[in-house]
Amino acid sequence: MPDPRTADPHPQGSVADAAPGNWVDRFAPRATRGYLRLSRADRPIGTWLLLIPCFWGVALAAIADPNGFKRWDLWIAVSCAIGAFLMRGAGCTWNDITDRDFDAAVARTRSRPIPSGQVTPRQAAVWMVAQALVAALILFSYNTATIALGLASLLLVAIYPFAKRFTWWPQVFLGLAFNWGALLAWTAHAGRLSAAPVALYLAGIAWTLFYDTIYAHQDKEDDALIGVKSTARLFGNHTRLWLRGFLVLAVVLMTLAVLLAVLPGGRVLPLVLALAGVWGFGWHMAWQLTRLDTEDPARCMHLFRSNRDAGLIPALFLAAAAAV
């Protein structure tokens, strides 16, 4: 029996940027591992980053609602969690199908299931459709306006993998797709959109520009060799200045969203709690900047992953504000 203290933390077939000892590598049946890796089940941070704006949206909608949370909101939260896992999986599978040649040329991504031969492009396409169909069943449990928003998001998901081919700002397209849940969850509660969720959505896009620029610094040298564009390459040595701007923009827009949702009700305690969450969100991003070293890929990955905690701070405070 191998000594667990000296065992390879990345067994054969594991993806290079997956956490060592993740549940897929350790427990999933071998026949399923390639598909689960396509869905990034071994790297859950992306599911969190897709889900958190949903939590923001439903909590902010409950704050704006004189009746607060509804029983239906529990289904919104649970279904968004399931839907985030499925749609992130479908989106990542689509991304890996379209990027398979690029992934084979980049050190960090050549171990992904398609370039490493664990799954064929045809098998990946079938898996993508299966995930999307199950997610559609969840979407159709919502009201008509929310269904329409959910279907509209598919265009953003389809475009994103190609953005790095034609723009230096692919992170904008990621932000447009990943924060759609703020609009969707608000509408699932309220039945219609208003200015508050739009401001919240824009805050999420600024946040995505912040964290995904940090993420993109891991691959900037390989990206330059193969001609892939990113904000990391665009900003270069000025990255820290740009990130400060995105931080400020995210905090200002989220503050605006809170004010638009809370002020019409005239309640002080929910306003204080909600703004405290925004304040904590901003301070976490500021902490990330104090730790950032764009020449250290491991540090960039660590800070990128820490944005789960950054996003949960306002989610928890918004939920508390809605509950009082």
pLDDT in tens, 301-321: 999 999 999 999 999 999 999
Q: List, as one string, the DSSP characters of 220-252.
A: HHHHHHHT---HHHHHGGGHHHHHHHHHHHHHH
Cβ-based neighbours of 269, under 8 Å, separated by 6 or more: 321, 324
pLDDT in tens, 52-96: 999 999 999 999 999 999 999 999 999 999 999 999 999 999 999
Angle between helices 170-178 and 45-64 (to 10 degrees): 50
> Rounded distance, CA 182 to CA 314, Å?
13
Instruction: Judge whether 14 and 3 are in contact, CB under 8 Å.
Output: no
Identify the pLDDT of residue 12: 59
Instruction: Judge whether 322 and 59 are in contact, CB under 8 Å.
Output: yes
Residue type, 64: A
Look at 13-17, 217-221, 270-274, 306-310 and tell me which has the smallest mean pLDDT: 13-17
Look at 65-74, 77-86, 106-115, 163-172 and tell me which has the smallest mean pLDDT: 106-115
pLDDT at 215 over 60: yes
* 3-state class (DSSP) for residue 98: helix
Instruction: Judge whether 274 and 254 are in contact, CB under 8 Å.
Output: no
> Rounded distance, CA 85 to CA 104, Å?
25
Distance between first and last Cα of the chain: 55
What is the number of other CB atoms lying within 10 angstroms of the CB of residue 102? 21
142, HSE (Cβ side, Cα atoms, 13 Å): 31
Q: List, as one string, the DSSP characters of 185-214.
A: HHHHHHSS--HHHHHHHHHHHHHHHHHHHH
Identify the pLDDT of residue 11: 54
Region 100-123 average pLDDT: 87
Of 60, 92, 81, 292, residue with least CA distance to 195? 60
Region 195-210 average pLDDT: 98
Region 186-198 average pLDDT: 97
Identify the pLDDT of residue 321: 97
> Rounded distance, CA 199 to CA 254, Å?
7
Region 260-264 average pLDDT: 96
Identify the pLDDT of residue 108: 76
Look at 8-12, 88-92, 157-161, 180-184 and tell me which has the smallest mean pLDDT: 8-12
Share of the chain above pLDDT 70, in %: 96
Instruction: Judge whether 93 and 39 are in contact, CB under 8 Å.
Output: yes
**pLDDT: which is higher, 34 or 101:** 34
Q: What confidence tier does 109 reach under pLDDT thresholds 50, 70, 90?
A: confident
pLDDT at 2 over 60: no
Q: Average pLDDT over the chain, rounded to whole? A: 92
Instruction: Judge whether 175 and 209 are in contact, CB under 8 Å.
Output: yes
What is the number of other CB atoms lying within 10 angstroms of the CB of residue 156? 18
